Amino acid sequence: MDGPHTDKRQAILETALGLFCERGFHGTPTSMITREAEVATGTLFHYFSTKEALIETIYLTIKGEMREALCAHIEPQDPVGEQIRRICANYIRWGVENARKFQFMEQFHNAPQISAHAHEEGMAQFSFVHDIVQRGIDEGALKPHPTGLQFSMFGASTGAVVRLILSGNGGEGIDALIDQAIDLIWDGIAAPAASPTPPR
């Protein structure tokens, strides 16, 4: 899989990711990417037909990695509550440990031109979370509010925690903060009957 060329291609991808995060898509000319990656202009366009194709490649790669990270230690037979709490923790940890990639995704989501087709696709990728939330509602573990609402708030809250930690305003204990955040999110969506903070 590692062809002889891969290092230049990889250098472009990684340099671009960094610059996009620092300066935004449009604030980063291709010339800047090639200069920093120490490759020629032509090399970039040899691997990626357009600048947009480069952005999309980065997006798809990260999306895959993210999905992978989210699924870690999730067993279908586990109770819904545990699965959701684990997905939540996985996402926060991934975001904190992959700050640049997290920021790239945030930027991508809010880019008006791009988001149209990609937003749909991105949502579809994470439909398994949607399904788990749905199951939680069916089983009575979650409040009987619309799935879409719960899913949205779950995602937004989790992202907010990552941003808080990355901005450095989260105090010292990151692990403790993550636990507290999961409790807040869980108490919001969990059915009152269920224990507010079930045993881990």
| DSSP helix/strand/coil, 190 | strand
Site membership for DNA, residue 112 (CB under 7 A): no
What 3 state SS string does 83-96 have?
HHHHHHHHHHHHHH
Should residue 153 be labelled a site residue for a second copy when binding is judged by CB under 8 A?
A: yes
Please give the Cα distance from 8 to 146 (Å, whole number).
Answer: 47
Question: Considering CB distances under 5 to 8 angstroms, the limit depending on partner class, which of a second copy, DNA, none binds residue 83?
Answer: none
Which amino acid makes up residue 156? Answer: A
Residues sharing a CB contact under 8 Å with residue 24, sequence separation 6 or more, in sequence order = 107
Q: What share of the chain is helix, strand, coil (3-state, %, to 5)?
A: 75, 0, 25
Q: Nearest approach, Cβ of 4 to DNA (angstroms)?
A: 5
Binding of DNA by 39 (CB under 7 A)? yes
User: Which of 32, 99, 166, 191 is in the footprint of DNA by CB under 7 A?
Assistant: 32
Residue 4 lies near a second copy (rule: CB under 8 A): no
Alpha-carbon distance of 62 to 64, in angstroms, equals: 5
Q: Which does 29 bind (CB under 5 to 8 A by kind): a second copy, DNA, none?
A: DNA
Contacts with a second copy by CB under 8 A: the residue count is: 45
Instruction: Kindly write out the interface string for residues 48-67 of this chain, putting x where it contacts DNA by CB under 7 A and - elsewhere.
Output: -xxxx---------------
- DSSP string of 122-159, one letter each residue: HHHHTHHHHHHHHHHHHTTSB-SS-HHHHHHHHHHHHH
Which residues here bind a second copy, judged by CB under 8 A? Answer: 21-27, 103, 106-107, 109-113, 143, 145-146, 148-150, 152-153, 155-157, 159-161, 163-164, 169-171, 177, 180-181, 183-185, 187-189, 192, 196
Which residues here bind DNA, judged by CB under 7 A? Answer: 3-5, 7-9, 28-32, 38-43, 45-46, 49-52
